[in-house]
Structure 1
Amino acid sequence: MKTRPTTQFVPHTIDGKTRMVPVPVDAPAPPRDWDHLILNAVTAIAALVLTASVVWSTASIGDLLAHAVIEPAAYGAAIVFDLAWIACMAVEWLARYDEDRAALPRRAGHVMLVLAMLAVGAHGKVAGYWEIGLIGAAVSALAKGLWTVVLRHQTPPLDARTRAWIQGELADAGASLALIPVRRQLQRAESQVAAERAAIASSDRDPDEPGQSADDPDADIIHIRPGAVTTKDAVRIAWDSDIRDENAVIRYVANATGTTPSPDTVRRYLRALRVAG
């Protein structure tokens, strides 16, 4: 029996404490997986054929386009013909669990493959060797067909219920991803609204007298509340009502605003009214 070295974890106890420690052992070697080896070989062949197809198509189409433009631009555009259907084939593979989503890249890949084959055939005709053009176009078809066979072999067959379940899972994941930018947009909107409200509240406050300390507790004495008058408004109302006593004004402001005002703030507003009067 063939064996191979491997590592096995076994319990080992020292001073009453047990740990799992690795120990090298010889384990029976598994039988050779010929299916996996053959699949790898076929995939390598398909990759080689695809590479040859891209090189041939790029050289043919690039030589055709070089009659009208400079060679770097011609060959740069020529490689697009093969890269387009290869990219469609890759997207088809990514959507292999959702037949509806895989249908579009499959059809687009077929269309782009036909365009590439027509371009290669046109090069053969222009060069005077239409047989070579047909054979060159068949190279792209062979590469596409071989890769289609390989990818279809690796795509697991799914029944209708399983496909529906997978589509539901993908829909939930897509909804979660879609909520990320929506939540970011909501956060930006909420931040803007909060900034606008703060700016409006700041513009409605009366600045303190010049030279007053920023640590003065009277700096934030004015509170703008819906349905309530401010301290300044209450002081003006009392002044217009011929109330001149400071204590009486303070009591009136407290009743009008629902909060006890700062005496210094009330005196400051009264001084301003006396100067204005």
Structure 2
Amino acid sequence: ESCFAFVVLTNGSPQSGVQGVQFGVTYDGSPGAGVDVFGWSACAAGQITTGGWPAPGAGINLIWNSCHVEEPHGTGHGVAVVAGYFYLSAYSPDRLELTNAESQHGLPITDCNQVQTSGFDSAPPRRGHAVFSPAGDQSGWNPCTPTPLTTGSCHVDGPRLIPPGSVGAVYTITDPIPGVEYHWFTSSGTLRITGPSVGNSITVDAPEIGGEQLIVSSMATSPISYPSSGRAGAPSSGSGRRQWARHPGRDECWCQGTPAPTPRGPAPRQPLDRTAIHRRLSLPWKSRSGAPGC
């Protein structure tokens, strides 16, 4: 099965905004082993690439025509911008990891005044990576939430595809965490949520063909503790509607909503169960068919 890995800038300043970013990528470059990247789609107006991008070790400089100051998750959550997405398959265990762009220190961010800062500067692999494992039980790394929510909080049970014209498809958080509120929404209008959009379960109708995502965000509504999932360090706690683990942010699950064309490119010889990786990481990805938009 092939999928899309999204690169997202988060926690930007709404005062200075975001207008450019530079980063690199690395993964197992051997054909038919680990991650194979078949293509890259930029969500910026312009891009300058080096090293045969998106090959392992290559870099990219993305530039937007307009200044991004919007905070899609609400005031105080920071500017978030989709940089682009990879189209890939995983043939064996591997990880897709953000690195420095060539000859750069950190991950340079250009603001709307054309001032460049180092952005997030931390030694690899702490710049964000998505893990692909046979059982789908290994977490990636989100530098904006050093202690992630437990993997179980992001398991969604429901149909992978629902035919157009169908009604009453049910999606459920299989192991919800006490003290966490789950908010559901769709990426556009062809998939409709019927009934309440907050809770451990949701019902949707698909009146027409589309290729949307059904998205669920977990939100702490009372003081709770999140296990460290085997990582070093003490468990973190969160309280209120703007606290997610240690850092304001989101932990999201992605499910395909309506039918879409089969993606291009070869299918992996050893399909991997990525259920546990349906999370919004520094390299978030949406497991779905058809090419997504920015």
- TM-score category (smaller protein): under 0.3
TM-score after normalising by structure 1: 0.16
TM-score after normalising by structure 2: 0.16
The structure that has the greater radius of gyration is: 1
More helix by share: 1
More strand by share: 2
